[in-house]
Amino acid sequence: MPDHIKFFESLSGAGKAIAVLTSGGDAQGMNAAVRAVVRMGIYVGAKVYFIHEGYQGMVDGGDNIKEATWEGVSSMLQVGGTVIGSARCKEFRTHEGRLKAAHNLVQRGITNLCVIGGDGSLTGANLFREEWSGLLDELVQQGLIDAEAAKKYYALHIVGMVGSIDNDFCGTDMTIGTDSALHRIIEVVDAIMTTAQSHQRTFVLEVMGRHCGYLALVSALACGADWVLIPEMPPEDGWEEQMCQKLSENRAGKKRLNIIIVAEGAIDSNNKPITTERVKDLVVRCLGFDTRVTILGHVQRGGTPSAFDRILASRMGVEAVLALLETTANTPACVVSLCGNQSVRLPLMECVQMTQEVQKAMDEKKFEEAVKLRGRSFENNLKTYKLLAHRKPESELPHSSFNVAVLNVGAPAAGMNAAVRSAVRVGITEGHKMFAVNDGFEGFYKGQIKEIKWGDVGGWTGQGGSLLGTKRTLPAKHTEKIAEQMRKHNINALLVIGGFEAYLGLMDLLAARGKYDEFCVPMVMVPATVSNNVPGSDFSIGADTALNAITNTCDRIKQSASGTKRRVFIIETMGGYCGYLATVGGLAAGADAAYIYEEPFDIRDLQANVEHLTEKMKTSIQRGLVLRNENSSENYTTDFIYQLYSEEGKGVFDCRKNVLGHMQQGGAPSPFDRNFGTKISAKAMQWISKKLKETYRQGRVFANTEDSACLLGMRRRALIFQPVVQLKDETDFVHRIPKEQWWLKLRPLMKILAKYKTSYDVSDAGQLEHVERNRPKETDASAI
C-alpha cells in the first residue's frame, strides 16, 4: 500500500460523542447530510446523537437529544426538509440559554458538534465554542457538574455545513439545497412557458433571495429569461424604458412570451424595493401586454432533494466527521464545502465575515464590490447572462469576418441545446458569422450547413436532446468531403459538442491536417455525454440530468415496495464501460452495491453482497437496491445477478429487476446541465475568438500547432483547455474511458454508507484553507 495514502482507520472515533443538528431555514439535502454524519460517526466507533429542533432542542434537552442508530436514518435520503426539525431559538442567543445547552451536552459527554445551517446558525455555534470553557466553569460553581467532568470535556469542537437554498455563504461554490431549489424554479418556469406561449403572455416570477440574487440569476440563465432583477446589481436609472424596449423587440422578433425573474430582495439604484407588482404595472402601462405574476414562495424549499444535493450533502457529512476526528483544541471552527468537485475546509469565521461584508457593500451602494465578494462563480454567471440575454446593436458589434461552425456529435445529451445557444450568441457578439451543422460529421460531409442567427436559438436552453441533430459517424472516411464543405463555406473554426465520438472525430481531423489545409483552423471540443466518459474532464453536459433520472426512478421503485414484504431491486444503468452513472447514482439513491467494469468483481463478491443484504433484511430495513452498469461484466449479466439474488435470498427477500435504458438520455436538462453547458460553451467561443486573432496571417487563418485543437474540460477546480493530442496517453481507447477517473474515490463512501467494512482514502480529504477574495481567473470552475 502506498505510503502517502492515509486511511481513516487511524482516525478512531471510539469514546467520542458527536451531535448533529439542523438550524435556521430548512433546505433539501439536509437529511442526506444528517444520514452521512450518523453513519460515518457510528462507522468510526463514535456515539452519535440527534439534536431535534435545532438550538431550541439543545437548550431544552430531555428527549430532544437522542442517540441515533444506523437503521434510524435508513429512509431519510430522498426526503426533503429536515426530519430532525429546525427552529429559530431566541433563548440560545442569551448567556443563560447557552449555559443550559452546555449542561445538556456535558451530561451526555458530547464535545463534538456538527451544525447544518446558514451563517446565523454557524456564528452562534462559534460563539458557543468560544464560551465553552467559561460555561463549564459556571456549571461547576453552580454544582451542576463536577470538576472532573469539566476537565474531561474541556473543549468543544465544531464543524459546519452550509444548508441554505439561497447559496449566500461566501467561500463555498454550492450550499446544500441550492440545486434542488433551482430544480423547483425551473420546473415551474418550464410549465409556465407553455401556457405563456399559448396566450402570448408576459410572466413576472418572484423567486427567493432576500439578500442574495443567486437563485434569480442562475434560473434566468437556465431558462433564457428576458430580464432579471437582483439585489447585488440594481438596474441603472432608466431601466424601465430599457426593459420595455427589450420585451417589445423580442415580441417583434416573433417571440410569443416574455419571462422576467425578480429576486424577492431586488432593489433599484436608490435602494427602493422592486416588487413583482411594480414590474407588472410597468409592462401593462407601457406596452399593454397581457401580464401575470407568479410568486413561487416556499415551493422552492420543498420537494425531494436533487441528485447533486444528495451527493454534496453525503460527501460533506462524511468530511465533517473526518474533520471532527482530526480536530484539536487549537483548530479553528471550520465549514466543510465543495470547490469545483473537491472537498475543502475553510475557517468558519472567515466565511461569515466575508458574507457580512457583501451585505455591508450593498448597504453602502458598492454593488460591484458586492458582486466580487460573492465569488468568481457569481460574477461569471452575471457576465454570461448579460452576454447572452442582451443583444448589442449591429453597429456596436466588432466585424471579424470569421465563419465558425458548431455541431453535435455522438448520442444526444440533455444540455446540448443550451451549449449551442450559448456558442451562437457569444459568437455573434464577438462579431463572427455562425454556422450550424446538422447531424454531426455525417451532415458535415453531406453539406447540411446553414447560417444560424441570434433569434434562431431562442428558447433552446430548456429543450432536451439535440435540435441540430446528432450522429455517431466519425469523419476519418469522409475527410475529403468535409474539407470541401469547409472550403465552400469558408469555415475558419470548429466547435464540436459531444461525447467520445466527438473526441475521436477531433483526432481524425487533426490527423488530416497534413493532407488538407482546411483543417488547419482552431478546433475545440466541449464534452457532452450522459456516460461522463470523456478524458480530460471530470464532468460532461448531460450526466447530471441522467443522474437525476436514475435517482428519481430509484426513489419510485423503492417506494413501490413500501408496505410489502422485504424486497431487493436490481437496476441496470447506461454508461458503456464507464461506471460513473452506476456509482454516483448509487450514492444518490442509497444503493447497497454498484457493479462496474472499473472495479472487477467475481462470484465471491456477489455472494458477499447477498449475505450482507440478508443480514440487513433481518433488521427493520425492508428494501435493498443494487445498481449494475450495462457493461460491467460479460458473464455476470443483470439477469444472472437477478437470478442469483432471487435464489440465495429465498425465504428472506424477493427480487425485482429493472433496465432503465434510454429514459436516462431523455427529458428536459437539469439546471446544472443548462448552466454548465451555457458557461463552458461561452468560454470555448471566447477561446476560438482569441485563437482566430492569433492565427490570422496574410488574409487567412492557419493553425496547425497542437494547442489549436483542444478539449475544454473541468479538472478538479479549474476549467482547462487541453490539446487533444496530449490526452491520448490518458485514454483507454478499447473501452472508451479515461485511465484515471476521480469519482472512483466516491465508491468507498457508498460502501461505508451501506454498512460495508472498507478502507476510505482520506489523503484527498479537505485541508484547512483560507477564503480567497478572488480566485485566479482560470479556476472559475464552479459549474453552476
As given in the structure block, the three cell numbers for residue 70 are: 444506523
> Residue 36 CA to chain centroid, in angstroms?
18
Q: Report the Cα 742 to chain-centroid distance in Å.
A: 16
CB atoms within 10 A of CB 541: 33
Longest CA pairwise span in the chain (Å)? 91
| Residue type for position 416 | M
DSSP class of residue 273?
Answer: B
Read off the DSSP letter of residue 74: T
The three cell numbers locating residue 239: 431601466
Interatomic CA distance for residues 239 and 311, integer angstroms: 41
- Whole-angstrom Cα distance, residue 784 to residue 782? 6
Q: For residues 729 and 746, what is the distance between their CA atoms, to the nearest angstrom?
A: 24
Provide the residue type at 711 as one letter: L
Could you tell me which residues come within 8 angstroms of residue 746 by beta carbon, excluding any fewer than 6 positions away?
Answer: 311, 315, 583, 584, 587
Q: How many CB atoms within 10 Å of residue 332?
A: 15
Phi, psi of 422 (to 5 degrees): -60, -45
Instruction: Answer yes or no: are the C-beta atoms of 719 and 775 closer than 8 Å.
Output: no
Grid coordinates given for 558:
423503492
The total number of residues shown for the chain amounts to 784
Within 10 A of 702 (CB to CB), how many other CB atoms are there? 12
Task: List the Cα angle 117/120/125 in 5-degree steps.
Answer: 75
Strands 157-162 and 334-339: parallel
Alpha carbon distance 86, 270 (integer Å): 36
Catalytic, 146? Answer no
Q: Catalytic: which of 26, 119, 166, 173?
A: 166
The helix/strand/coil state of 720 is: strand
Dihedral sign for Cα 379, 380, 385, 390, please. positive
Rounded to whole angstroms, how far apart are CA atoms 216 and 186? 11
Residue 173: partners with Cβ closer than 8 Å, 6 or more residues away: 337, 338, 339, 340, 375, 377, 782, 784
The residue to which cell 487541453 is assigned: 722
Q: CB under 8 Å to 726, separation ≥6 — which residues?
A: 706
Going through 208-330 in order, the beta strands assigned E by DSSP cover 227-229, 258-263, 291-295
* Chain-centre distance for alpha carbon 236: 32
The SS3 of residue 351 is: helix
Contacts (Cβ under 8 Å, ≥6 apart) of 688: 404, 427, 432, 493, 495, 522, 524
What positions carry a catalytic annotation? 166
